[in-house]
Chain A
Amino acid sequence: MPLASRHLLGLEGVPKEDIQLILDTATSFREILERPIKKVPTLQGMTIVNLFFESSTRTRISFELAERRLSADVVNFSADLSSVKKGETLKDTARNIEAMKIDMVVMRHAAVGAAHFLTRVIKAIIINAGDGTHEHPTQALLDMYSIREKLGKIEGLNICIVGDISHSRVALSNIYGLKTMGANVAVCGPKTLIPREIGKLGVKIFYSVDEAIKWANVLNVLRIQLERQDRAFFPSLREYRQYFAITKERLDKSEKQITILHPGPINRDVELSAEVADSEHSLILQQVLNGVAVRMAVLYLLGTRSESK
Chain B
Amino acid sequence: MKYLFKNSHIIDPTTGKDTKVDILIVDGIIEKIGNNLSIDINSLTYDLSGKIVAPGFIDMHVHLREPGYEYKETIETGCMAAANGGFTAVCCMPNTNPPIDEASIVRLIKQRAENVLKGLVDIYPIAAITKGREGKELAPMMELVDAGAVGFSDDGSPVENAEVMRRALEYASALNKPIIQHPEELDLAKGGLINEGYVSTMLGMQAIPSIAEEIMIARDLQLTEYFAAQYHAAHISTAGSVELIRMGKKKKLNVSCEVTPHHFSLDDNAVRSFDTNTKMNPPLRTREDIEALKEGLRDGTIDVIATDHAPHSFDEKQVEFLFAPFGIVGLETAVSLASTELVHKNIISISQLIEKFSINPRRILNLPPILINEGVRANLTIFDPSIEWIVDIQKFKSKSKNSPFNGWKLKGKVFGIFNNGIFHPPE
B196 touches A (CB below 8 Å): yes
A85 — which chain B residues lie within 8 A by C-beta?
323
Whether A109 lies near B202 (C-beta < 8 A) is no
0/1 per residue, A183-222, Cβ < 8 Å to B?
0000000000001111011000000000000000000000
Which B positions have Cβ atoms within 8 angstroms of A?
Answer: 193, 196-198, 200-206, 274, 315, 318-323
Q: How far is the CA of A305 from the CA of B196 in the complex (A)?
A: 37
A200 — which chain B residues lie within 8 A by C-beta?
198, 201
A167 — which chain B residues lie within 8 A by C-beta?
204
A12 — which chain B residues lie within 8 A by C-beta?
202
A114 touches B (CB below 8 Å): yes
B320 — nearest CB in chain A belongs to which residue?
A: A111
0/1 per residue, A114-126, Cβ < 8 Å to B?
1011000100000
A91 — which chain B residues lie within 8 A by C-beta?
318-319
Whether B206 lies near A133 (C-beta < 8 A) is yes
> Given A117-B274, A196-B196, do A111 and B323 touch, yes or no (CB 8 Å)?
yes
CB contact between B315 and one of A89, A111, A134, A201 (< 8 Å): that residue: A89
B204 — which chain A residues lie within 8 A by C-beta?
112, 132-135, 167-169, 172
Q: How far is the CA of A168 from the CA of B203 in the complex (A)?
A: 11
CB contact between A201 and one of B197, B202, B319 (< 8 Å): that residue: B202
Q: From residue 84 to 119 of chain A, which have CB atoms closer than 8 A to chain B? A: 85, 89-91, 109-114, 116-117
B202 — which chain A residues lie within 8 A by C-beta?
12, 172, 201
A109 — which chain B residues lie within 8 A by C-beta?
320
Q: How far is the CA of A156 from the CA of B204 in the complex (A)?
A: 26
Q: How far is the CA of A132 from the CA of B204 in the complex (A)?
A: 8
A111 — which chain B residues lie within 8 A by C-beta?
320-323
Whether A197 lies near B203 (C-beta < 8 A) is no
CB contact between B203 and one of A112, A121, A196 (< 8 Å): that residue: A112
A–B Cβ pairs within 8 angstroms, 28 of them: A12-B202, A85-B323, A89-B315, A89-B319, A90-B319, A109-B320, A110-B322, A111-B320, A111-B321, A112-B205, A112-B274, A113-B274, A113-B321, A114-B321, A114-B322, A116-B274, A117-B274, A117-B319, A117-B321, A133-B206, A134-B203, A135-B204, A172-B202, A195-B200, A196-B201, A197-B201, A201-B201, A201-B202
CB contact between A195 and one of B201, B274, B318 (< 8 Å): that residue: B201
Give the shortest distance, in Å, between A87 (CB) and chain B (any CB): 13
Q: From residue 53 to 89 of chain A, which have CB atoms closer than 8 A to chain B? A: 85, 89
Q: In this complex, which of B196, B206, B320 has the most chain A Cβ atoms within 10 angstroms of its Cβ?
A: B320
A-B residue pairs, 7 tightest by C-beta: A113-B274, A111-B322, A111-B320, A133-B204, A134-B204, A195-B201, A113-B321
CB contact between A113 and one of B198, B200, B320 (< 8 Å): that residue: B320
Whether A198 lies near B320 (C-beta < 8 A) is no
Q: How far is the CA of A285 from the CA of B321 in the complex (A)?
A: 35
Give the shortest distance, in Å, between B413 (CB) and chain A (any CB): 30
Give the shortest distance, in Å, between B285 (CB) and chain A (any CB): 13
Give the shortest distance, in Å, between B209 (CB) and chain A (any CB): 8
Q: How far is the CA of A206 from the CA of B203 in the complex (A)?
A: 21
Q: In this complex, which of B193, B274, B323 has the most chain A Cβ atoms within 10 angstroms of its Cβ?
A: B274
Q: From residue 161 to 176 of chain A, which have CB atoms closer than 8 A to chain B? A: 167-169, 172
B323 — which chain A residues lie within 8 A by C-beta?
85, 111
Q: How far is the CA of A89 from the CA of B205 in the complex (A)?
A: 21
Give the shortest distance, in Å, between B425 (CB) and chain A (any CB): 38
